[in-house]
Amino acid sequence: MSDSFLNKRTALVTGGTSGIGLAIASALGAAGARVAINGLGTPEQIDTAISKINKSGAAEARYYDADLRDAIAIEAMLQEVNAWSPVDVLVNCAGVQHTAPIAEMPVERWDALIAINLSAAFHTLRLSLPGMAERGFGRVINIASVHGLVASINKSPYVASKFGLIGLSKVAALEYASAGSRASGGITVNCVCPGWVETPLIEPQIAAKTNDLSIDRDAGIRELLREKQPSGRMSLPEEIAELVVWLCRPAAHNLTGTAIPVDGGWTTQ
């Protein structure tokens, strides 16, 4: 999709400095949006991300620093972004993970995961949705996870936060469903729920399978996914980004309150 239908629109993407978030920010830029990103990274990594978004065709790209564990910092970030240009498209993609049995889960890790994966989205929604409603157009896409639909052991805070994110999104979708019109675009709130996605973070797991079993990379991926993802294929970040962009289109004005799995049949089983 190469048309600039988001021209004169502004997007904020948390977790936008790498991986799925950067792919989404770049795709929104390619659709003509101004793009604000927030996320972790060295100054060099942030500069590289901004450069990639600008090269995609974005009207402009800027980085905004905020600790997503801190509600006051999130409020300050939204004030800065809205002073630059009011947010029309909000993508909550920032997320962290920590695995351990419930009895061994460090309390501070639970608190951090809930804050970043769930509470931060609540704060960005509450600060963005009223302005979207006033203008008659808004798109919120929360990047949840297959683990917002099904559980796995040793992932209690991650699963809890992603289930919560889907629930939060459904409430917001209902509260703003009647805002705007077909002509203005309306307000929609949806979740995208990826299964396995081929990012640099996954590469060590792929390499371990290929080395342990002396098989090629594709076979290693199929083995890694065998128990969970029936397709045997990972999604690419760019494929998740294309779905996010489609949800921003005028034709998606009546698609709201959904949790869309992109999981190769994982949750169908």
Residue 2 above 60 pLDDT? no
Averaged pLDDT, 236-256: 98
Q: How many CB atoms lie within 10 A of CB 70?
A: 15
Q: What is the CATH number of domain 10-195+235-262?
A: 3.40.50.720
Phi, psi for residue 95 in degrees, rounded to 5: -165, 150
In percent, the amount of the chain with pLDDT more than 90 equals 89
pLDDT confidence band for 250 (50 / 70 / 90): very high
Rounded distance between C-alpha atoms, residue 139 and residue 11, angstroms:
9
Structure confidence by residue, pLDDT tens digits, 226-235: 889 999 999 9
In percent, the amount of the chain with pLDDT more than 70 equals 99
Q: What is the pLDDT of residue 1?
A: 43
List the beta strands (DSSP E) in the chain.
Answer: 10-14, 34-38, 60-63, 89-92, 137-143, 186-194, 259-262
Rounded distance between C-alpha atoms, residue 252 and residue 246, angstroms:
7
Q: Which of 3-17, 135-149, 220-234 has the lowest mean pLDDT?
A: 220-234
Domain boundaries, the chain: 10-195+235-262, 198-234
Q: What is the pLDDT of residue 121?
A: 98
Structure confidence by residue, pLDDT tens digits, 26-63: 999 999 999 999 999 999 999 999 999 999 999 999 99
C-alpha distances in angstroms, 61 versus 97, 128, 233, 255?
28, 19, 32, 28
Q: What is the pLDDT of residue 46?
A: 98
How many CA atoms lie within 13 Å of 84's alpha carbon, on the beta-carbon side? 21
Q: What is the pLDDT of residue 3?
A: 87
96 burial (CB, 10 Å; 0-12 / 13-18 / 19+) is middle
pTM above 0.85? yes
C-alpha distances in angstroms, 117 versus 160, 162, 226?
9, 7, 27
Residue 209 above 90 pLDDT? no
Rounded distance between C-alpha atoms, residue 74 and residue 129, angstroms:
15
158 in active site:
yes
Closest-CA residue to 186 (of 138, 248, 242, 244): 138
DSSP state of 85: S
Phi, psi for residue 234 in degrees, rounded to 5: -85, 155
With left for phi above 0 and alpha for psi between -120 and 50, is residue 185 left, alpha or beta? left
Among residues 63, 64, 158, 176, which one is catalytic? Answer: 158
Q: What share of the chain is helix, strand, coil (3-state, %, to 5)?
A: 50, 15, 35
Tokens found for residue 164: 């919560």
Phi, psi for residue 100 in degrees, rounded to 5: -175, 150
Q: What is the pLDDT of residue 208?
A: 87
Higher pLDDT, 200 or 130: 130
Structure confidence by residue, pLDDT tens digits, 67-80: 999 999 999 999 99
Tokens found for residue 13: 């993407």
